[in-house]
Copies of this chain bind each other. A is one copy, B any other.
Amino acid sequence: MWHKRDDMIVHETDPYNAEPPRLGLHDPITTPDSFYVRNHGPVPENDPGDWAVTVDGLVDESASFTPERLREEFTHHTLTATMQCAGNRRAGFLPVRDIPGEDPWGPGATSTAPWTGARLCDVLRSVGVADGARHVEFTASDVSDLADPPQAYGGSIPLAKALSSEVLLAWAMNSEPLPLVHGAPVRVVVPGYVGARSVKWLRGITVRADPSENYFQATAYRVLPPEADPDHAGPGDGISLGSVALNCDILSPEEHEHVPGGPVRVTGYAYAGDDRTVARMDVSGDDGRTWHQAELDAAASPWAWQHWEALVPVTGAGSHVLMARAWDSTGACQPESPRALWNPKGYVNNSWARVEVTVE
């Protein structure tokens, strides 16, 4: 049904949820067999021959687009964009406090690919956006029993974002047809937003006055205060997630790797969602006492992560913590510790990256 690298870290098999090891993230473009997968229900067994995406709600005229019609009627665009799960780096919260019922995603719940498809703004303009429109809802065909009662996965984005040039209805990834596990035949790609809004197996687009009432928009994917009981959270509780917060992680060395003393080559990724960019990257080899600026690679697009590299002195046999922190284009830095950021669903751990290594 899909092919992933053998060393994929599988958090769940049903629904399939998996992230690549750090090794799978070393390149600016993630290969499809390394690309992380976050599912909320079984991958639907779709018959592409029967597929259509309806567009309705606050539009001048409702319409229905088969994948062929999307390809034929709209200009094709390819954009390299990073997808990042709101739960990326959740495992960093676990030393603070356990997070029952949620997968312990490491630094691999993020990946980058060139996506090809039609611009959502072109599709919306073709049907006409009516007065009062403020949000655009996406509905998928995968049904999740995380919602009670079970519900098709869905979510929404503000109309202004939907009308931006970067949001795609994509049918290809890495110049190949979109794999089923990544949302074939058609998925949404919302660059700069948490992955949850990039709805796969897209069946419906509804232009609305208000955000979607779908469970995954109204109730899930929200940062609750630490004292909240997520089992009793209601629609509207907490902070609804949209743009991705500034984040980074270390890709090499690996956690618990043995390294020779002296300068250690430290690499990683950094990403700032939406209109922010990564402006500086600091790396420390002495538990944060001194910091060295990393070389930042150019981003493949304004919507893609950046890889970085630094040579950092690590001296003295024994255990050392390598640390990394990103600064964004507002001059703001990531928060230091996951302690203050812990929340009941484990979202947005954007604290400084830490990897423990042993100097031989």
Contact = CB atoms under 8 A, between A and B. Distances in A.
Interface in A225-269: 225-226, 239-246
A340 interface: yes
Given A333-B335, A348-B332, A350-B332, A340 B327 contact: no
A293 interface: yes
A347 B331 contact: yes
A323 to B, nearest CB: 10
A187 interface: no
A245 B336 contact: no
Contacts of A293: 225
Nearest to A325: B340
Interface residues of A, number: 39
Contacts of A329: 239-240, 242-243
A244 B329 CA distance: 10
Contacts of A340: 288, 325, 333, 336
Interface stretch (A116-124, A148-156, A274-282): A274-282
A223 B336 contact: no
A341 interface: yes
A327 B223 contact: yes
- Give the oligomeric copy count: 2
A13 interface: no
Contacts of A223: 279-280, 327, 331
A64 interface: no
A83 B225 CA distance: 30
A300 B66 CA distance: 45
A319 interface: no
A92 B333 CA distance: 16
Contacts of A275: 243, 274-275
A326 B245 CA distance: 14
A330 interface: yes
Given A246-B332, A332-B348, A327 B279 contact: no
Nearest to A86: B331
A347 B336 CA distance: 18
A337 interface: yes
A21 interface: no
Interface string A306-336: 0000000000000000000101111111111
Interface of A: 86, 223, 225-226, 239-246, 273-276, 279-280, 282, 288, 291, 293, 325, 327-337, 340-341, 347-348, 350
18 contacts: A223-B280, A223-B327, A223-B331, A239-B279, A241-B330, A241-B331, A242-B330, A243-B275, A243-B276, A243-B330, A244-B330, A245-B330, A246-B332, A273-B330, A275-B275, A331-B347, A335-B335, A336-B340
